[in-house]
C-alpha cells in the first residue's frame, strides 16, 4: 500500500519527531511511505480567518500533490478535516479532489479503519490523559462527543485513539470530568482572544491534574503546543507527547 505522508505545518517546523513517529508506525504495518516535498500548508489558517480566496491555491496544490497516492495519511485531525470537509468550495466535480477527499485519513483513523490494527505491541507504563481535539471529534467523528450522545460512524465507545492507546501494556488512561472539551487553541483564536484561550487551556489542564495525568496526548500537535506552553509557564510537571510518539514506542 503506497501512502502519501501529509505533514502539518506545526509538525514540520517545530515537532519533526512526530512526523518520524508516524513514518515508523506506517512502515511497521507494511506501508510504503512517501513524503512529497512539493506539499505546503493545507490552507486552514487562511480559511479560518476568512481568507478563502487566498486559501484556494494551497488547496489546489495539495490535491495535485497527493492525488497520485492510494491513501493520504496525516497526524492531525484538524488538517485532515480541512481537506475532507472544507475543500469542496474550491473544486467543482474534480476527480482528483474526489479521490483525495475519500482517501485522506488521520493517523489513528487509518490504522484502525483501513489497516484494521487491533492492538499496538509495546508498553507505556504511565497515566495518560487524552485530549480529544475538536476537529477529530466533531468533524471526523473519531469518537463519541457528549453533546450528541452517540457517534454516527458507529464508534460509540471511546474512539480510535483510546482503542490503540489502551492496547499498550502498562498504560493507564485518565478519567476526565470533561473528556471532550476544547483546549482553547483554535488557531488564530488563540491570538485574537488570548485571555479566553488561556483560561480554556488552564481548565483542561486542571481536569488532567485532578485525574492524575502524567503524560498529556492528542491527535493534534497544535492543541498540544498550546497546552504545553501553559504547562511550562506555570511550571507544571505534566509532559506532552503526540499520540504517534506513544504508539511508536518513544519514551517520555
Collect all residues with Cβ–Cβ distance below 8 Å to 154 and sequence separation of at least 6: none
Backbone angles phi, psi at 37, to 5 degrees: -75, -5
pLDDT digits (tens, 9 = 90+) for 136-183: 998 999 987 777 765 455 444 468 999 999 999 999 999 999 989 999
> For 119-247, CATH number?
3.40.50.11810
Are the beta carbons of 160 and 136 closer than 8 angstroms? no
What is the spatial distance between Cα 99 and Cα 71, in angstroms, rounded to a whole number? 9
Query: What number is the average pLDDT over the span 100-116?
Result: 97
Query: What number is the average pLDDT over the span 178-196?
Result: 89
Domains 2-113 and 119-247 share a fold: yes
pLDDT at 157 (0 to 100): 47
Q: Spell out the domain ranges in the chain.
A: 2-113, 119-247
pLDDT at 44 (0 to 100): 94
pLDDT digits (tens, 9 = 90+) for 32-70: 999 999 999 999 999 988 999 999 999 999 999 999 999
What is the spatial distance between Cα 217 and Cα 223, in angstroms, rounded to a whole number? 9
Angle at 249 between CA 246 and CA 252, to 5 degrees: 60
User: What are the angstrom distances between the C-alpha of 114 and each of 91, 107, 160, 242?
Assistant: 26, 10, 12, 21
* 95-99, 118-122, 186-190: segment of lowest average pLDDT: 186-190
Query: What number is the average pLDDT over the span 67-93?
Result: 95
Are the beta carbons of 156 and 191 closer than 8 angstroms? no
Fold (CATH) for 2-113: Rossmann fold (3.40.50)
Are the beta carbons of 244 and 75 closer than 8 angstroms? yes
Task: Output the DSSP codes for 136-167.
Answer: HHHTS--S--TTTSS-TTS--SS-HHHHHHHT
Name the band, by pLDDT with cuts 50, 70 and 90, for residue 112.
very high
Amino acid at each position: 500500500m503506497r501512502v502519501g505522508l501529509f505533514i502539518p505545518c506545526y509538525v514540520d517546523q517545530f515537532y519533526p519527531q512526530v512526523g518520524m513517529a508516524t513514518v515508523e508506525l506506517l512502515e511497521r504495518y507494511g506501508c510504503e511511505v512517501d513524503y512529497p516535498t512539493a506539499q505546503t500548508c493545507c490552507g486552514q489558517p487562511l480559511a479560518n480567518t476568512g481568507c478563502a480566496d487566498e486559501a484556494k491555491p494551497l488547496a489546489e496544490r495539495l490535491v495535485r500533490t497527493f492525488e497520485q497516492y492510494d491513501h493520504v495519511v496525516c497526524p492531525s485531525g484538524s488538517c485532515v478535516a480541512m481537506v475532507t470537509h472544507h475543500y469542496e468550495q474550491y473544486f467543482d466535480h474534480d476527480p482528483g479532489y474526489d479521490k483525495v477527499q475519500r482517501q485522506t485519513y488521520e493517523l489513528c483513523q487509518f490504522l484502525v479503519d483501513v489497516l484494521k490494527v487491533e492492538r499496538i505491541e509495546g508498553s507505556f507504563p504511565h497515566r495518560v490523559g487524552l485530549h480529544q481535539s475538536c476537529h477529530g471529534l466533531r468533524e471526523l467523528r473519531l469518537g463519541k462527543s457528549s453533546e450528541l450522545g452517540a457517534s454516527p460512524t458507529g464508534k460509540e465507545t471511546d474512539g480510535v485513539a483510546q482503542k490503540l492507546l489502551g492496547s499498550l501494556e502498562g498504560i493507564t488512561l485518565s478519567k476526565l470530568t470533561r473528556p471532550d472539551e476544547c483546549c482553547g487553541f483554535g488557531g488564530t483564536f488563540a491570538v485574537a482572544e488570548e485571555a479566553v484561550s488561556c483560561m480554556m487551556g488552564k481548565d483542561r489542564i486542571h481536569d488532567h491534574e485532578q485525574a492524575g495525568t502524567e503524560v498529556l496526548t492528542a491527535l493534534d500537535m497544535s492543541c498540544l503546543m498550546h497546552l504545553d506552553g501553559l504547562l511550562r509557564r506555570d511550571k507544571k510537571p505534566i509532559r506532552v507527547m503526540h499520540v504517534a510518539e506513544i504508539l511508536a514506542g518513544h519514551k517520555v
